[in-house]
Amino acid sequence: MDDPTLQIHFKGHRDAITCVDFNPNGKQLVSSSMDSCLMVWNIKPQTRAYRFLGHTDAIFCVRFSPSGELIVTASRDKTVKLWVPNIKGESITFRAHTAAIRWVDLSSDGLRMCTASADKSLKVWNPHRQKFLFSLNQHVNWVRCCRFSPDSRLIISSSDDKTIKLWDCENQTCVHTFHESGGFASHLDFHPSGNCFAAGSTNSSVKLWDLRMSRLLQHYDAHTGPVNKVSCHPNGHFLLSASDDATLKIFDLLEGRPLYTLQGHTGPVTAAAFSASGDHFASGGNDEQVFLWRTNFDTQLCSTSNKEASRSNGHRVSDTGSARRRISKKTSQALEATVVDHVQEPINTPGSSSAQAVDLRSNNRASSTASVECHHTPRIHGHSIPSYLPLHSTANTMQNTKSSAEAVGDQQNIPPSLTTTLEHMLSQLNILTQTVSLIEQRLTLVETRVREENNDK
């Protein structure tokens, strides 16, 4: 396992970065800022960046559509915009809420859009038909974040009221409320399995919650400042967090411990996200800079997640073609896209204020002022003992259970017959767990097919 490395340094924004996201094809990176602009950075091939103007106030969130053909933004100007990321800069506007919109998310099939606002509500839309569908209104303070589950059946939302709510999209109801203590969750991200989610809190903690059992799985107090963003690696083994303490941290969810601390930003880190393949991640900060990092955690893991991402992208159904046609028809709403000369600079020239064209292939110096600290010992604090529950794979569960039973038998001199009985009981429980998991997957497939048939009608 190699350490992460900083590859490219992007400069072009004129205020703090608020959000970053990757095109699913891995060739582009988009960033939003308090300067009311979004910028699309071309990674492959290494060409000029684009600056899009249109919002009249800070942009809090920017997201690529699952197909990568559209970009959606949420702003303090109370609007959501849907963009085609080309030189024309065409967009359509959703006048969605009565207060600032803090977050926007798209379902995995691209057919639904959810917005979270300071007006205490969430709203769900059909972005391609520009149609409002329904509201979710049980929060009693600003709603900070909203995320669709990987299967698009659920939505999670976090609020300044110190709650995280789980919503059923089909019934439009809140099915469970998670309560935060000592702060509120500023950002959320679903685990790729869809069975749990990560939350970054203003009390400096990072938590992993189990949806099926409605309980806390892991709790990390590794940061010394509020956590602004969290992002799960596509293979589900790692978690990335960004904090006001000027660091990024990477957690090993299988072992339940902090793995790396990364420094490079000069001030709070306000944005972070993994790419769809997992081989890169990006960060942004109050220093107006966007960094592109190479993961390097494990080549085998990344290649595996790459294949999984390709398979999942192949099954996505997105009506981006019709959305693009709708946007292109609204020529009166076409906004300006400024072509920006390459403003990617090596990290070893922080004093430079002018934008320069830099050959991205000569970025071997990019990590000179960034530091990566590898944690060899766990730094985990929780409410109980043990303070975390490692996310072991099902394949390892049987072996771990047997080892645990043998250890208990050795330490407490339990008769061999009783040890054998315990092993058998635990193995049966593991089989039951696997069976339930398979049933859940089959139910998901059936629901997906029913939904597709209804849409066809």
CATH superfamily of 5-324: YVTN repeat-like/Quinoprotein amine dehydrogenase (2.130.10.10)
Task: Determine the average pLDDT of the residues in 41-50.
Answer: 85
Provide the pLDDT for residue 89.
82
Task: Determine the average pLDDT of the residues in 174-183.
Answer: 93
Query: Is 345 or 275 the better-scoring residue by pLDDT?
Result: 275
The domain segmentation of the chain, as residue ranges, is 5-324, 394-456
pLDDT exceeds 70 at position 336: no
Which of 161-170, 183-192, 258-267, 396-405 is the least confident region? 396-405
Provide the pLDDT for residue 343.
42
Provide the pLDDT for residue 454.
81
Query: Which residue spans within 1-99 are E strands per DSSP?
Result: 5-11, 17-22, 28-33, 38-42, 49-52, 59-64, 71-75, 79-83, 91-95
CB 290 within 8 A of CB 281: no
Digit-coded pLDDT (tens) for 397-413: 334 444 444 444 444 46
Provide the pLDDT for residue 450.
84
Digit-coded pLDDT (tens) for 145-173: 999 999 999 999 999 999 999 999 999 99
Element (DSSP H or E) covering residue 417 = helix 416-456
Query: Is 429 or 245 the better-scoring residue by pLDDT?
Result: 245
Give residue 266's pLDDT band: very low, low, confident or very high (50, 70, 90). Answer: very high
Within 8 A by CB and 6+ apart from 429, the residues are: none
pTM, full prediction:
0.74
Task: Determine the average pLDDT of the residues in 176-199.
Answer: 96
At 102, phi and psi to the nearest 5? -85, -30
Query: Is 397 or 191 the better-scoring residue by pLDDT?
Result: 191
- In degrees, rounded to 5, the angle at the alpha carbon of residue 68 between the alpha carbons of residues 64 and 71 is 35
**What is the rounded average pLDDT for all residues in the chain?**
80
Q: In this prediction, what percent of the chain has a pLDDT beyond 70? A: 74
Digit-coded pLDDT (tens) for 300-321: 554 544 544 444 444 444 444 5
- What the block records as the tokens of 133 is 């569908």
Provide the pLDDT for residue 452.
77
Provide the pLDDT for residue 300.
53
pLDDT exceeds 60 at position 285: yes
Give residue 354's pLDDT band: very low, low, confident or very high (50, 70, 90). Answer: very low
Provide the pLDDT for residue 403.
46
Provide the pLDDT for residue 365.
39
Digit-coded pLDDT (tens) for 408-431: 444 446 677 677 777 778 767 777
User: Distances in Å between the alpha carbon of 186 and those of 180, 196, 202, 207, 303?
Assistant: 11, 17, 6, 12, 31
CB 216 within 8 A of CB 383: yes
Provide the pLDDT for residue 426.
75
Digit-coded pLDDT (tens) for 364-395: 335 446 778 777 543 333 333 233 455 654 33
- What the block records as the tokens of 383 is 């409410």
